[in-house]
Amino acid sequence: MTINWFKYASPASFYFLAGRMIPYFSIAATLFLIVGLYIAFFSAPTDFQQGEAYRIIFIHVPAAWMSMFLYVVMAFWAGIGLAFNTRLSSMMASAIAPTGAMFAFLALWTGAWWGKPMWGTWWVWDARLTSELILFFLYIGFMSLQAAIDDPRRADKAGAVIALVGVVNVPIIYFSVQWWNTLHQGASVSLIQSPKMATAMLSGMLIMVLAAWMYSIVMILIRARLIILERERHTAWVSELKEGVLE
Amino acid sequence: MKWESVSDFFAMGGYGLYVWGSYLVAILCVIGEVVWIRIRRRTLYKHLGLRKGSILRGEK
């Protein structure tokens, strides 16, 4: 049996596939969020150093991880779109940017509200905080540039350049706590060491990460479908959709 | 149950302002994104003459 892998690279096929997947990811996002928040507030113990203030971790870490991960995915699709001129890839990049920007903002915001009680300051120009702020500006720059260019194909190309140049910032954020002497603490969770936190704290955090993943997928799929409709509005399949032939 | 009362829960061991300040803005961000995407969808659907439906059902 052969599978046509390129079938879903067509915006029309992807539009319907995405529409069928959205309900499942929405349910998963809701379930993970409920379980994650329950663990965050009722099952995870009080931290021996930070008291209850550490509970900000359950949004701070998922938001920060998602902001970096989504940027890499956005740059990947923008790069594929630039190199191979594939329409759907560039549309995916545009669909990811607002959700990525939202998570970058949340990482900064929750970081400030965690920094105030723990470090005594809302903000410091430390390598980790500054590079995350640059990530937020890169998302904003990508979206503003695309919004400023009328021709979508040219907007895709210009956006791809920003996205690809900016991707160098992601490893800088990740390694900033090792390369520089930062106020921000080092990684509590890594692939090579056992985690430096209680099991309930860790499991709550990872479930919140899954919730953030599922939420991002839902938002990105919905937005991708809108972008596809917008850009393909003069095509035959959208006309059929309007006339109700494709029910 | 680790909390002795509702007010104990909201006090968050004296860090209530910071914990709830973080969670409140996170909720507002999520609501904001969902509302924004719905407005964008409604505008586009009106423009294209498509009928409305639930955004999460992902119907055709």
The CA dihedral of A209, A210, A214, A219, to the nearest 10 degrees, is 0
Q: Are A60 and B22 a contacting pair at CB < 8 A?
A: yes
Q: Are A102 and B29 a contacting pair at CB < 8 A?
A: yes
Instruction: Report phi then psi at A162, rounded to 5.
Output: -60, -50
Q: Are B22 and A218 a contacting pair at CB < 8 A?
A: no
Predicted pLDDT at B29? 97
List residues bridging with A47 in a β-sheet. A51
* Closest residue by Cα to residue A173 from A54, A66, A97, A59: A66
Q: Are B25 and A110 a contacting pair at CB < 8 A?
A: yes
- Burial classification of residue A148, based on how many CB atoms lie within 10 Å of its CB (0-12 exposed, 13-18 middle, 19 or more buried): exposed
Contacts of A221 in chain B (CB under 8 A): 58
How far is Cα B26 from Cα A63, in angstroms, rounded to an integer? 9
- Give per-residue pLDDT as tens, A32-64: 999 999 999 999 988 888 889 999 999 999 999
Q: Residue B1 pLDDT > 60, yes or no?
A: no
**Interfacial A residues in 166-185 facing B (CB < 8 Å):** none
Predicted pLDDT at A247? 46
pTM: predicted TM-score of the whole model, two decimal places: 0.92
Asked if the C-beta of A26 comes within 8 angstroms of chain B's C-beta atoms, the answer is yes
Q: Residue B58 pLDDT > 80, yes or no?
A: no
| 8 A C-beta contact, residue A229 and residue A242 | no
Q: Cα separations (Å) of A90 from A11, A25, A163?
A: 11, 22, 11
Predicted pLDDT at B59? 58
Q: Residue B54 pLDDT > 90, yes or no?
A: no
Q: Are A226 and B41 a contacting pair at CB < 8 A?
A: yes
Predicted pLDDT at A92? 96
Distance from CA of A192 to the nearest CA of B (A): 30
Contacts of B44 in chain A (CB under 8 A): 226, 229-230
Distance from CA of A76 to the nearest CA of B (A): 23
- Give per-residue pLDDT as tens, B4-50: 899 999 889 899 999 999 999 999 999 999 999 999 999 998 888 87
* Closest residue by Cα to residue A89 from A99, A97, A79, A98: A79
Asked if the C-beta of A98 comes within 8 angstroms of chain B's C-beta atoms, the answer is yes
Q: Are B58 and A22 a contacting pair at CB < 8 A?
A: yes
Q: Does residue A44 come out as left (phi exceeding 0), alpha (psi in the -120 to 50 range) or beta? A: beta
How far is Cα A97 from Cα A105, in angstroms, rounded to an integer? 12
The tokens describing A4, both together, are 């046509």
Q: Give me the interface pTM, i.e. the ipTM.
A: 0.88
Intervals of chain A under pLDDT 70: 1-7, 191-192, 245-247
Q: Are A117 and B15 a contacting pair at CB < 8 A?
A: yes
